[in-house]
Structures are given as C-alpha cells and as structure tokens.
Amino acid sequence: MNLTLFDLDNTLLNGDSDFEWSQFLIRIGVLDRELFEARNQAFYDHYKAGTLDIHEFLDFQLKPLSRHARITLDEWHRQFMREQVLGMITQPARDLVERHRAAGDVCVIITATNSFVTAPIAREFGVENLIATEPEHKGGEFTGNVADVPCFREGKITRLENWLAARGWNMDSFADSTFYSDSLNDLPLLARVKNPVAVNPDATLRAHAEQHGWKVMSLR
C-alpha cells in the first residue's frame, strides 16, 4: 500500500484557490476592493516568499466567512467553482491524480487553504481524503476562527500524523510515500516522504530539489 500526497494551490491547480476566493468575493461585491485587494496581494506575496504569518492571514481569510450564512457561502462557492476553479484544473493534473487512484494508492490532498474553499475542489479531483486548515464552526455557521493546527509548513506534518494515527497508520505503514508540491513552504513535509516531487516549483524549491536529486515536473 502506497501513500500519495498532493498539495493543491499551484500544484494540482494552475493558480491559488485561497487568493482567488478573496478576489472572487471582491469581484461580486462581497468584499470592498479598496480595503481588501491590496492586503490579499500582500499576504500572497508573503506566502510565496516564505514569510507568511499564518495566524494573521487566517484572521483575514476566515473572518468574512463568519459574516454570512452558510447557505449563502455555499451558493457563492458553486459560482466560484464554475467561474474560476474549473479553469485552473489542467488535464495533466487530473491524469496524475487518476493514475495514483487507479493504482490503489491512499490519496490525500493536503493544503494550507481552508476546507470550506478546498473540499469541493478535492471532490472535483475524485480525492476522498482532504487535510486542510479547518475553520471553526458552531451550529453549522463559521465563527471566523481557526480550529486545530493550521495545515501550514510544519503544521502539515502534525496534521498528517494525526490523520494517519486516527486510522491506525503512520508513515512506516506504507511501502512507498510521495508528496507533490510547488512551494518552499512544503519543504518540511517533502523531506519526510520517500519520493518528494517538485511540481511547477518556486525558485527556492527548485534549487533544493536539484541539489538533492528530487524529481521536478510540470502539470501545466
């Protein structure tokens, strides 16, 4: 039995669903462009540079969820999927996931982006297992806070280990383990699997991959 992990944004997706969700809310008039667009871009730039304060970002990203009913958010997300996300999914990305699913691997999308944004995207890929940053909710509505450890940098390892332990597994339970990612932020988890794969990598990850003999590929 093999374990295959996929990062989502800029790996399986040709773009960043976190960033694009905020841009979508700005475009449909839910968020004020003047107040939110520059901050959204700044957070994205910090993420790419490896300097993101995840808690500051999650406060920015999750608070809008708490201001609207879940039924309204779900309708906006369906529109977001149609208008933005489907165009970010390339055929090579779909093919890669399907190859691992057909081989019988335990497939997991593991992403820093919150599960409200990413769960429908994981379903679009046919991946049942999602480990994502979890927004807190009460009575089915979002509070604007984060629940559990954010699934970011070393937090991805913590969340993965907890997910495996809940199923009676650990990393040694698998004959092989693979992680596909584009980002320097995923270097901690990439270093923990047997087959780290740099996908459309940023400059830092590309240099690290080349230095350590990791596979480098593109899904675009």
The residues assigned a catalytic role are 7, 9
CA angle 45, 205, 135 (to 5 degrees): 50
Can you tell me the distance from the alpha carbon of 148 to that of 158, in angstroms, rounded to the nearest whole number? 10
**Cβ atoms 156, 112 nearer than 8 A:** yes
Residue with tokens 């990850």: 205
**165 Cβ contact partners less than 8 Å away, ≥ 6 residues apart:** none
Best CA proximity match to 115, nearest among 133, 127, 129, 128: 133
Secondary element (H or E) of residue 133: strand 129-138
